A and B are shown apart, each in its own frame.
Chain A
Amino acid sequence: MPLSGNPIRSKIRAATDNAVTGLAILATLLVIAPLLAIFGYLIYKGASSVNLDFFTKIPKPVGEEGGGMANAIVGSAVLLALGTIIGVPVGIGGGIYLAEFGRGTKLANAVRFTADVLNGVPSIVMGMAAYALLVGPQVSWLPFLGHFSAFAGGVALGIMMIPTVCRTTEEMLLMVPHAVREAALGLGVPNWRSVLSITVKTASPGIITGCMLAFARVAGETAPLIFTALGNEYWSLDLNQPIAALPLQIYKYALSPYDEWHRLAWAGALVLIVLIVLSVSLVRYVTSRGVLKGAS
């Protein structure tokens, strides 16, 4: 008897279909809800304090009205640039090794395990490690060691980016179909060339996503910066000196007893999130412009 012949069964099937679809929609809403709630609350609390001064002035002393976080915004940009310069090349290079050249070797397995462990290390521990390695030791002939500095903060953020970038790069490279690699080898292209020009290029949208995830994650990190970049109330672009950062400034202001500083902390949090979203969108836009019609 054909399945569609029984009207009761047919109704049960339709009901099940609706129920499962409904559950999926509900789950989707639950995923989006916290994001919208946080963003909405930030706008509610912080939007009124976001003005031109916020982006152009440095913090005012306690008791004075106004002031902004211009130095912290620039400081965060410097720290993130340093972190990205360190974290992205090392992470991508490591990922290429894991997926292409070292596959199945003991070294690769050890590196993969280490990266996974590193990914799970709390950021405060990462900050302490960076402190012990970069801020603590006094080496007179090395300029960047021995004191709090933007350099130490950038290194801490960079190290935090490495495992995420490394593992997503590996995963994305492994997703490139074997047929594509064979096509390159079949043309008489040397293996290293095929890896760099074909495999990595094919996987590049996913690799860029991985880099953006790592970037967005460390952009909001406070703990590793407390022990390294320290924070700064004044303008500074000197990599050898403590530097301000948005998360540090938010942390400091939020813990303070002053209403004016609380308002600025809310505004800082809102600006931080908007800047992260903007920079991620910008990278996506720039990297998607070269994509051809019909490319998967």
Chain B
Amino acid sequence: MGVGIEVTNLNAWYGTNHTLQDINLHIPANHATALIGPSGCGKSTFVRCLNRMHETNPIARVTGGVKVGDVDIYADAKPVEIRRRIGMVFQRPNPFPTMSIYDNVASGLKLNGYRNRRVLDEIVEKSLRNSALWDEVKDDLRKKSGASLSGGQQQRLCIARALAVDPEVLLMDEPASALDPVSTSKIEDLIFELKSQYTIVIVTHNMQQAARVAEKTGFFLNGRLVEFDSTHKIFTNPSDKRTEDYITGRFG
């Protein structure tokens, strides 16, 4: 089951560049939350702070608190453990090119020392079914490389890989921006399905996508969270003038 995320006074830097300033918000459990805003507004940095990927860049720095469920991820846990609980799907599909489809899905478990073949088989099938890819690849699981699939299939493979470690939260950083409309709609259907089991945070440039999949939407601008509310309210009656300008296409 998913858990909620409580963010308090989050600040982030790349070198001297203050990319996130005083972010406070609550992301509800088992819902999809969309983050929108123009390029460079900090939304990607924000999701990368939620699983401590931000700090893998040597010049990056973070202050403030992020509570995932009951765990303050910056105080109580190691980054490696956090990333196992919080899965991530990236903008460009990034399957491991040397691994088969099966090994790609099982990689999170295998690389952490999990070996039980029968259980792995079950988890791989379940994860591929959950990411709506099973029927397309079930005959080539061990024969084909993850890199041999089409872009949309690769992205669903990456979702299956993230699901296989059984996370509580799924972070998606523009998961459909490199895909065609058919693949995009498959990913969106998937987000709809997955909400019941996971808390989903999705960064997107596509405002229709945010409106279609998310219950809550946050609007970022210049490193600040301008407005965070129900998706319906953001898109029909935003409280802030800047949000309205953005969603009506006056800038960005």
Closest approach, in angstroms, between the C-beta of A207 and any C-beta of chain B? 12
In the complex, the answer to whether B165 meets A188 with C-beta atoms within 8 Å is: yes
> Is A182 close to B, CB under 8 A?
yes
> Are B97 and A186 in touch, CB under 8 angstroms?
no
Residue of B nearest to A178 (CB): B94
Tell me if A186 and B87 are in contact (CB < 8 A): yes
Question: How many of B's residues come within 8 Å of A, CB to CB?
Answer: 35
Instruction: Contacts A292-B143, A294-B144 given; indicate if A188 touches B108 (C-beta within 8 A).
Output: yes
**In the assembled complex, which residues on chain A have CB atoms less than 8 Å from the CB atom of B149?**
294
Please tell me the size bucket of the interface on A: 20 to 34
A43 to chain B, nearest CB (A): 39
A186 to B108, CA, bound (A): 9
* Cβ-defined contact, A292 with B111, below 8 A: no
Residues 182-208 of A at the B interface (beta carbon under 8 Å): 182-190, 193-194, 197-198, 201-202, 204
Which residues of chain A have C-beta atoms less than 8 A from B144's C-beta? 292-294
Query: Is the C-beta of B90 less than 8 angstroms from some C-beta in chain A?
Result: yes
**Are A187 and B84 in contact, CB atoms less than 8 angstroms apart?**
yes
B176 close to chain A: CB less than 8 A: no
Task: Assess whether B97 is in contact with A296, with CB atoms less than 8 Å apart.
Answer: yes
- Verify A186–B83 contact, CB threshold 8 A: yes
Kindly supply a per-residue 1/0 record for chain B positions 51-66, scoring 1 wherever the CB is within 8 Å of any chain A CB and 0 otherwise: 1010010000000000
CB < 8 Å neighbour of A295 from B82, B88, B98: B98
Contact A190 B94 (CB under 8 A): no
Q: Whole-angstrom distance between the alpha carbons of A179 and B158 in the complex?
A: 12
Please give the distance in Å from A5's CB to the nearest CB on chain B.
35
Residue A177, interface by CB 8 Å? yes
Q: How far is the CB of B32 from chain A (nearest CB, A)?
A: 19
Expressed in whole angstroms, the minimum distance between the Cβ of A21 and any Cβ of chain B is 31
Cα distance A254–B107 when bound, in Å?
57
The answer to whether B210 has its CB under 8 Å from any CB of chain A is no
CB of B92 to closest CB in A, whole Å: 6
Contact indicator A201/B84 (Cβ below 8 Å)? no
Cβ-neighbour of A177 out of B82, B94, B161, B162 (below 8 A) = B94
CB distance from B56 to the nearest CB of A (A): 6
Known: A188-B112, A202-B97. A182 touches B145 (CB 8 A): no
A85 in the interface (beta carbon within 8 A): no
A180 interfacial contact with B, CB 8 Å: yes
* Distance, CA A186 to CA B95, complexed state (A): 12
Distance in angstroms between the alpha carbons of A185 and B107 in the assembled complex:
11
Whether B147 lies near A189 (C-beta < 8 A) is no
Q: Is the CB of B96 closer than 8 A to any CB of chain A?
A: yes
Among A183, A188, A190, A295, which residue has its beta carbon within 8 angstroms of that of B145? A295
A residues 117-163 touching B (CB-CB < 8 Å): none
Asked whether, in the complex, the Cβ of B165 is within 8 Å of the Cβ of A293, the reply is: no
In the complex, the answer to whether A189 meets B80 with C-beta atoms within 8 Å is yes
Chain B residues close to A by CB (< 8 Å): 51, 53, 56, 80-85, 87-88, 90, 92, 94-100, 107-108, 111-112, 140, 143-145, 147-149, 158, 161-162, 165
Task: List 19 A-B residue pairs with CB atoms under 8 Å apart, sorted by A's residue number.
Answer: A179-B92, A182-B53, A182-B94, A185-B53, A186-B88, A186-B162, A187-B162, A188-B82, A188-B112, A189-B80, A189-B111, A193-B111, A198-B107, A198-B111, A202-B98, A204-B98, A292-B99, A293-B148, A294-B145
